[in-house]
Amino acid sequence: MVDANLGLLRGEGGLHFIAWGITGSGSFMRESFGVLKRIKEKHGVKITTYMSKAGEEVARMYGILDRIGDISPGNHYEEVITEEVAGASCTYSGRFMLGRYGLLVIAPATSNTVAKIVYGISDSIVTTITSQALKGGVPVVVLPSDVTEETEVPCYIDREVCTNCMECLNRCPYGAIRELDGVPVLDLTRCHGCRVCELTCPENAIHCFQKARIKIRELDRRNIEALRRVEGVTVVDDPDQLEDTIVHILSLPI
C-alpha cells in the first residue's frame, strides 16, 4: 500500500510539522479536509496549509476555506499560506529545504499540478513547495483528482425546477446570487459553499456537492503513473489510503 519510494528521501524535520498543499480540485476536496482534520485531532501535529490560487477559490466553493482554521489556526507553522502571501517565488520554500517539515501532503492534486510535478515545473505555490520538498528530502504524498471518475459539483441552480422566486437572493450571506434577465444566477467565485441557499430554497431547486461522473483522460492516467515513479513521492488512490499512509509515516521513527 505504501509506495516503495517512501523513506528514501525522508527529511530530518520533526514529523509533528506537516505541510498540506491544496489545489483547485473539486474531487476529493471535502474528503481531503476531513482526513487532515482527523490527523490533526488524533495525532496532535501542526499543519501549515499552502493553497494554489485555484485551490483557494475551489476550497471556498466547497465550504472548506471558512473551516481551514480548524486545521491551520494561524500560529507559527500553522499558518494558511496563499499565493498572495507567499509571492511568486514562494518565500516559504526555505522551510522545506531546511527539513522543517516531516511530510508534504498534496490533496487534492489537480491534473494540472500532477503534470507539472512530473515535469519538474514549479510555477505555483504547491508545485514550488513540492520541488523544494523533494530537493530537501521531505517525503511527498499525493492524492490526484484523476484517480477517480466520481467527482462532486459545487452549488448550482436547477433551471428545470427553479420558479425564479428570487428567495435565494436574500438568503445568500455572501451576495453570490443575483438576478439577471429575470432568473437567479449563482456567481461561484463568491460562493462559500455554506448551503444556505440549498437548505432554504422553497422549490428544492438548488443542489450542492452532488456526485457526478467524469471521464479520465489517458494523458492524466499516464501522468499519474509517471508520478508514482518520481523518487520521494507516494501516490495514493483514495482518501482512506491517504489517511493510512499519513498515519504510517507518522509512526516511522525520525
Ligand X SMILES: Cc1cc2nc3c(=O)[nH]c(=O)nc-3n(C[C@H](O)[C@H](O)[C@H](O)COP(=O)(O)O)c2cc1C
Residue 119 Cβ vs ligand X, minimum distance, rounded to whole Å: 13
Judged by CB, which is closer to ligand X: 6, or 96? 96
Nearer to ligand X, 25 or 234 (CB): 25
> Residue 24 interacts with ligand X (CB under 6 A)?
yes
Question: Residues 27, 72, 122, 130: which binds ligand X (CB under 6 A)?
Answer: 27
Which amino acid is residue 94, in one-letter code?
Answer: G
Which stretch, 25-33, 68-76, 227-235, 238-246, contacts ligand X (CB under 6 A)? 25-33
CA 46 to chain centre: 17
Q: Single out the residue of 17, 23, 46, 79 in contact with ligand X (rule: CB under 6 A).
A: 23
Long-range CB pairs of 118-126, under 8 A, 24+ apart, other chains included:
118/223, 118/226, 118/227, 118/230, 124/23, 124/52, 124/53, 124/83, 125/21, 125/50, 125/51, 125/52, 125/81, 125/82, 125/83, 125/86, 125/90, 126/21, 126/22, 126/23, 126/50, 126/51, 126/52, 126/55
Q: Say whether residue 112 binds ligand X (CB under 6 A).
A: yes
Does 223 interact with ligand X (rule: CB under 6 A)? no
Which of the residues 178 through 217 are near ligand X (CB under 6 A)? none
52 binds ligand X (CB under 6 A): yes
Minimum CB distance to ligand X smaller for 6 or for 51: 51
By the rule CB under 6 A, 145 interacts with ligand X: yes
d(Cα 60, Cα 95) in Å, to the nearest integer?
A: 26
Stretch that binds ligand X, among 54-62, 69-77, 158-166, 175-183 (CB under 6 A): 54-62
Half-sphere exposure of 71 (CA within 13 A, CB side): 25
According to DSSP, the β-strands at 210-213 and 150-153 are: antiparallel
Q: Which residues 6+ apart lie within 8 Å of 52 measured at CB?
A: 21, 22, 23, 24, 83, 113, 124, 125, 126
Task: Compute the least distance from the CB of residue 12 to ligand X, in Å.
Answer: 29
Beta carbon of residue 26, minimum distance to ligand X (angstroms, whole number): 3
**Residue 16 · residue 45 · CB < 8 Å:** yes
Interface with ligand X by CB under 6 A: which range of 41-49, 89-97, 99-107, 109-117?
109-117
Using CB under 6 A as the criterion, what x/- string covers residues 117-136 for binding ligand X?
Answer: -------x------------
Q: Is 111 in the site for ligand X (CB under 6 A)?
A: yes
Rounded CA separation 222/156 (Å) = 32
Q: Which residues are near ligand X by CB under 6 A?
A: 23-27, 52, 54-55, 58, 61, 110-113, 124, 145, 151, 154
